[in-house]
Amino acid sequence: MSVPVDFNDIQGLVRFGHGKLTEASFWLLNVRDPSAARSWLASAPVSSAIELDGPPKTALQVAFTRDGLQSLGVPDEVLTGFSDEFLSGMTEESRSRRLGDAGVSAPEYWRWGGPGKVPHVLVMLYAQTGQLTDWTQNVKGPHWNSAFQVLDCLLTSNLQNVEPFGFADGVSQPTLDWERQRSVHGDQLAYSNLVALGEFLLGYPNEYGKYTDRPLLDPVQPSSALLPFAEDFTHKRDLGRNGTYLVLRQLQQDVRGFWRFLDKQANSDPEARQNLAERMVGRRINGDPLLPLNPQPIAGIDPSDAAQNQFTYDSDAAATRCAFGAHIRRANPRNADLPSGSSDLIAKLLHTLGFGSKKFRDDIIASTRFHRLLRRGREYGPGLSPQQAVADGSDTGEHGIYFICLAANISRQFEFVQNAWVMSTKFNAMTEESDPLLGNRQPVLGCPIVDTFSMPQEMGVCRRIPEMPQFITMRGGAYFFLPSLRALRYLAALG
């Protein structure tokens, strides 16, 4: 019944992390000459999501901020169809409060993306080892220099699938319902990792079964004939379809500070040190969960991935294995629409009316399926092992991650996760702590202590790590629109 997905029209990044393409650089550009920029765009070899016979050697993805779209000539009445958060940008003051971009992470200190430093265009280049330079020259082509002013070029590094602290990265990702088979009607009683396409691509039904708002054009608009018709408003042209939003945040990681702090807590015992780090992350350093696997499979988790992801926190209600505040338990609480044990009709009714919850923490976390992120980040800076990090000697490099996530609704997905779950000092009825890794440790009105990490124990009081320093600092960020290939052709045809 549903129209099949046209992979040719979707930028490859939505479907692939380009993991085999170990080299990558992200160019932050301003449009110098709109017409040259459109010419560049018209001939840019942007990668689609189609599966090729062999692995690709290179890839190119392109995204734009609001200012970027405006500078290419997108009319105002079209621009206003984009979401509020995309239009007002990551650094709007109230947004910074919600995202925790405060103190040394405040936008005024960012290298890029802060006031007056918002780029227009993000060009993402990926290549196999040793081929990035050639690929960059190839992509630039004849129009690049006249089209763009380079604000920054973010160079990534290949840390062999670990992030700078040394943990396996990108272990858990939502599975997209490319076949459009998922039914989202009614309460979902079990955690599912299969997520409606509309959560990550505009122009498709989301987890509410609705189409997320995006710019729909009257067919009389210039160049709109290049765009497909919208599924929900069949007489309108859909600029959003097969596109999505891209959140990019440059997070500097204090690798030395992190491991040295833990080393002190662990009295320099390497095993205890790593163990503590694992408790903060919520996974083993190799990515394995701290919890036993569910006996039943979980929808959307491939058998090959079961060893790392076939678990929920139902088996650890007291959080004695994986702390309530552990990073991955905050970022993805793996719950369903109703508390567990709502399978029969009576229990379901009781839960719906709010009567089934007896314990302090019962039914207080929002349903996960409305708050998923598709992560596509890359690391930067030289690798530094825990041993090197605690050893004496100067560390000249800066380490960090270019956090990238894709979402059709930035406020309900990225901002919600960041605000209500990761940075919140009140997540899951906790107090005195925010995310052990990402927390900005900024004071909260009325909360004298916000820098603890607590680990419930099977016996006795929680184990607490007090006075945790800030390990991660924001260095730049912006909200982008990652258009479909047809939308790119539309942009190239403007003016």
Partner 1 sequence: MTPQSNFMVLASVAAGRTDDLRRLLASMNRRPGVVDPQNPLVPFAQLPRLHFARIVVLEDRTLNDITAYKLPRVSYPTYLAFLGDFDGSFDSFLASMVNRTEEGLRRIFSYCEDFTPTTNLLAWMKSHNVRPATIYVNWIGRTTQQVREEEALRQAMEKFIRDAPSLRIMPSRQIYDKLTKFVKEEQRAGRITLTPPEPTPLGWRVLNFLHLAGVPLILLALSPFLLLYLPFFLFQLRRRETSDPEIAPRIDPGHARQLADLEDHDIANQFSAMGSVKPGLFRRWILAFFLWVVNYTTRHIYNRGRLARVTTIHFARWVFLDGKKRLLFASNYDGSLESYMDDFINKVALGLNLVFSNGIGYPTTNWLILDGAKDEQKFKYYIRRHELATEVWYNAFPGVSNLDMKRNMLIRQGLDHPYMTDSELQEWLQLL
Considering only residues 70 to 99 of the shown chain, the ones binding partner 1 according to CB under 8 A are 80, 84, 87-88, 92-95, 97-98
Considering only residues 330 to 349 of the shown chain, the ones binding partner 1 according to CB under 8 A are 337
Q: Is 225 in the site for partner 1 (CB under 8 A)?
A: no
Mark the segment that binds partner 1 (CB under 8 A) among 175-183, 252-260, 380-388, 457-465.
Answer: 457-465
Q: Is 352 in the site for partner 1 (CB under 8 A)?
A: yes
Mark the segment that binds partner 1 (CB under 8 A) among 235-243, 382-390, 453-461, 472-480.
Answer: 453-461
Q: List the x/- string, 197-216, binding to partner 1 by CB under 8 A.
A: ---------x-x-x-xx---
Q: Is 432 in the site for partner 1 (CB under 8 A)?
A: yes
Q: Is 278 in the site for partner 1 (CB under 8 A)?
A: no
Q: Is 318 in the site for partner 1 (CB under 8 A)?
A: yes
Q: Is 359 in the site for partner 1 (CB under 8 A)?
A: yes
Mark the segment that binds partner 1 (CB under 8 A) among 10-18, 247-255, 281-289, 452-460.
Answer: 452-460
Closer residue to partner 1 in complex, CB, 93/392: 93
Q: Is 190 in the site for partner 1 (CB under 8 A)?
A: no
| Binding residue (CB under 8 A) for partner 1 from 310, 335, 424, 440 | 424
DSSP collapsed to 3 states, the chain? CCCCCCHHHCEHHHCCCCCCCCEEEEEEEEECCHHHHHHHHHHCCCCECCCCCCCCCEEEEEEECHHHHHHHCCCHHHHCCCCHHHHHCCCCHHHHHHHCCCHHHCHHHCCECCCCCCCCEEEEEEECCCCHHHHHHHHHCCCHHHHEEEEEEEECECCCCECCCCCECCCCCCEECCCCCCCCCCCCCCCCCEECHHHCCCCCECCCCCECCCCEECCCCCCHHHCCECCCCCCCEECCCCCEEEEEEEEEECHHHHHHHHHHHCCCCHHHHHHHHHHHHCECCCCCECCCCCCCCCCCCCHHHHHHHCCCHHHHCCCCCCCCCCHHHHHCCCCCCCCCCCCCHHHHHHHHCCCCCCCCCCCCCCCHHHCCCEECCEEECCCCCHHHHHCCCCCCCCEEEEEEEEECCCHHHHHHHHHHHHCCCCHHHCCCECCCCCCCCCCECCECCCECEEECCCCCCCEEECCCCCCEEEEEEEEEEECCHHHHHHHHHCC
Closer residue to partner 1 in complex, CB, 157/188: 188
Positions that interact with partner 1 (CB under 8 A): 80, 84, 87-88, 92-95, 97-98, 206, 208, 210, 212-213, 318, 337, 351-354, 357, 359-360, 363-364, 366-367, 370, 411-412, 415-416, 419-420, 424-426, 429, 431-432, 444-449, 456, 458-464, 466
